[in-house]
Amino acid sequence: MNIFKKARRKLGVSQQYVADELDTFQSWVSDVEKEKINPSLYWAFEMAEFYGINFQRVGEYYSRRKRNDSREDQGEGKISPQAEDES
């Protein structure tokens, strides 16, 4: 689960509430939580501060996610069916 979505749920607030507090759009908060987009450094810091998350932890989360995404792009870490023997 996305680090910001987890924090928002823990606080028990809506995406609209977060958007209002950060002066942004609910759809943007949703896109970040669904990982359709990555927040800029500025917004990642703002969200971390809002949720009370250590910013280093946010950086580690996105760094780990990026490494995992690049492995998947290269086919690493995916389970693929074995090629059938052609004999």
Residue 38 lies in a domain: yes
d(CA 80, CA 60) in angstroms, rounded, equals 29
Instruction: Provide the whole-model pTM.
Output: 0.74
Residue 83 lies in a domain: no
Residue 53 lies in a domain: yes
Residue 27 lies in a domain: yes
pLDDT at site 68: 77
The residue segments making up the domain with residue 16 are: 3-67
Does residue 77 or residue 33 have the better pLDDT?
A: 33
pLDDT at site 65: 82
77 pLDDT tier (thresholds 50, 70, 90): very low
Q: How far is CA 45 from CA 17, 39, 79, 81, 84, in A?
A: 18, 9, 35, 42, 50
Q: What's the CA dihedral at 74, 78, 81, 82 to 10 degrees?
A: 60
Residue 50 lies in a domain: yes
How many folded domains does the chain comprise? 1
For residue 18, what is the domain's CATH number?
1.10.260.40
Please count the helices (runs of H) and the strands (runs of E) in the chain. 5, 0
- Asked whether residue 41 carries a pLDDT value surpassing 60, the answer given is yes
pLDDT tens-digit readout, 49-68: 999 999 999 999 988 887 77
